[in-house]
Amino acid sequence: MVEARSTCTACGTALVDGARFCHSCGTAVVDATVPTSVEVATPEPRSDLRFVLWLALAAAAAIKVSALFGADLYEETGGSTFHFRNLSLFVLPFVAWFLVRTRQPQTQISRLLPLPFLAGALVANIWHLGDPANTEVVLALHLPVALLLIVGVAHAGDGWRTVEGRLAFIRFTGEWMVHYVLLGLGGLALVGLTAGGFEVLGISADLEYPLTGWILPCGAMGAVVIAAWMADRRLETGDGIAPVLARAFTPLFAVAVFVLLVGSLTAGDFLDMDRDALVLLDVLLLVVLGLLLYTVSARDPQAPPTWLDRIQIALLVAAVVLDVIALISTLGRIGEWGLTANRTAALGINLILLAQLGGSAWLAIAALRGRRPFPDLLRWQSRFLPVFAAWATVVMVAFPPIFDLV
C-alpha cells in the first residue's frame, strides 16, 4: 500500500485527504495517490458524455421553449427583453447540474441546487414594483454574476470556503471561457463553409431564418455546457490553456492600459466621462482583473520574481489610477443628475474593483520585495469572489423596489 503525500511540496502546508490543490498556495497535487486496495469510482467517459449532450440539448431547447408562450427571441415588444433578462437561466442551471453530478453526487448541495436558480427566475421576472425599465439592464447584467457563484459552489462543494476550492473554480472558469470561444469560432467556420458550399453548388436556400432563429441561439446555449465539460476534462488530465493565454496577453493589455491612462490624463476634463466611456473603462478593468486571476492562480508561489511579475504590478497600479478616475467621474454624474440604478451599480462595482485591485497591487509589491508571502495574494484574490456575488445579489433584490418606483 502506498501512502498519500501529506504535505505540499511547494510550501510545506499539510494537505487535506484527496485534495487536488494546496489550500494555502494553490499548487496542484499532481502525485497524490490513494491506497491500492481501495477502488475509486469514476464516471464512465461515454456515459458522462451522453449526459452532457442531453444537458446541452436541454439548454438549446430552453431558449426556444419561451416562443411557445409568445416570447419570441427577436420580438421587439417583449420577447427580446425577456431573453435578455433570463439568458443565464437558460444555461447555467444545466452547467451546475453537470458539475454536481460529476463532483458532488448525493450531497445536500445537489438537493438544494434548484432553489437559487428558482429565486433568480422569480427576481428576474416578477420582482418589480413599478416600471421595470429602470432596473432591467442592471438586473440582467448582475444575475449571471450571482448565479455564477452557485456554479462555483456546485464545482467546489464543501471546499468553496477554502482558498483551494475557489482557486480551482477560477481555473475552471478560465478554461471554460477559452473552450467556449474555440467552440464558437469552430461553429461559425462550419456555418460559413456550409453556406459557401451551397453557393458554389448553385443551391438556392434561404438560410437566414434557420441560421438566426435556430442554429445560432441553440448552438450558443448548448456550447456553454459542452465547453464546461471540456474544461473539466482538460483540468483533470493536465494544465489549462487560460494561464498561458493570460501570461501572453498581460504585456499587451499593460500597453493598452497605459496608453488609455495617458490619453485620459491629457484629454483635458478627464473626470467628466460619458456613460459609454465609463462602461468601456469598467469592462477593461474587469479584463485586467481576469488576467491577474488566471496568471496568479497558476504561478508557482516559490518561484523567484520574473519580468512578468513586474509587468503585472505596473498593470495593477495603472488600473488602480484608471479606477479612481472612473470612480470620481461616476460620483460627478451622480452629483449632477442624481442617483439611478445604473449609476449606483457602477459606483458599487468601481468601489469593489478599487479594493480588489488596490489590495492586489500592494500585496504583489510586498511579495516582490520579499515582505509578504506570495500565497497572501492568492488568498486576497479568492476572498473577493463572494463579494462580487453579494453585490450582484444586492443589485437584483434591492434595486427594483427602490428605483422602479422613481
Kindly give, in sequence order, each residue whose CB lies less than 8 Å from that of residue 271, ignoring residues fewer than 6 positions away: 325, 328, 329, 332
Query: What are the grid coordinates assigned to 109, written together?
Result: 448541495
pLDDT band at 40 (very low <50, low <70, confident <90, very high): very low
pLDDT surpasses 60 at 36: no
Is 232 exposed, middle or buried, given 0-12, 13-18 or 19+ CB atoms closer than 10 A?
buried
Is 162 exposed, middle or buried, given 0-12, 13-18 or 19+ CB atoms closer than 10 A?
middle
pTM assigned to the model: 0.79
What's the chain's average pLDDT? 80
pLDDT band at 16 (very low <50, low <70, confident <90, very high): low
Residue range(s) defining the domain that contains residue 260 = 242-372
Residues 90 and 132 in one domain: yes
Q: What confidence tens digit (pLDDT) does each residue in 121-135 have?
A: 888 888 765 555 667
Give the three-state DSSP class for 270.
Answer: coil
In the chain, % of residues over pLDDT 90: 24
Show the CA angle centred on residue 262, arms to residues 258 and 267, nearest 5°.
145
In the chain, % of residues over pLDDT 70: 77
202 within a domain of the structure (yes/no): yes
Residues 37 and 53 in one domain: no
Residues 92 and 189 in one domain: yes
284 within a domain of the structure (yes/no): yes
Looking at residue 148, its pLDDT comes to: 92
386 within a domain of the structure (yes/no): no
Residues 54 and 78 in one domain: yes
Residues 31 and 63 in one domain: no
179 within a domain of the structure (yes/no): yes
What is the torsional sign of CA 290, 295, 301, 307?
negative
189 within a domain of the structure (yes/no): yes
Q: What confidence tens digit (pLDDT) does each residue in 41-64 have?
A: 444 545 578 899 999 999 999 888
Q: What confidence tens digit (pLDDT) does each residue in 278-302 have?
A: 888 888 898 888 888 888 777 777 7
Residues 15 and 83 in one domain: no
What value does the mean pLDDT take over residues 103-124? 80
Show the CA angle centred on residue 291, arms to residues 287 and 296, nearest 5°.
150
Residues 50 and 88 in one domain: yes
What value does the mean pLDDT take over residues 209-237? 86
Residues 174 and 115 in one domain: yes
CA–CA separation, 178 and 176 (whole Å): 6
352 within a domain of the structure (yes/no): yes
CA–CA separation, 392 and 125 (whole Å): 16
**Which residue type sits at 349?**
I
What value does the mean pLDDT take over residues 95-111? 78
Residues 84 and 207 in one domain: yes
Of the candidates 240, 222, 115, 72, the residue with the CA atom closest to the CA atom of residue 167: 240
Number of domains forming the structure of the chain: 3
Residue of higher predicted confidence among 83 and 342: 342
Q: How far is CA 388 from the centre of its chain?
A: 11
Residues 230 and 262 in one domain: no
Residues 189 and 84 in one domain: yes
Of the candidates 157, 180, 178, 179, the residue with the CA atom closest to the CA atom of residue 168: 157
Q: What are phi and psi of 21, to 5 degrees?
A: -140, 150
Residues 173 and 73 in one domain: yes
Q: What confidence tens digit (pLDDT) does each residue in 309-335 have?
A: 889 899 999 999 999 988 988 898 888
28 forms beta bridges with: 21
196 within a domain of the structure (yes/no): yes
CA–CA separation, 329 and 275 (whole Å): 10
What value does the mean pLDDT take over residues 196-202? 75
CA–CA separation, 387 and 146 (whole Å): 10
258 within a domain of the structure (yes/no): yes
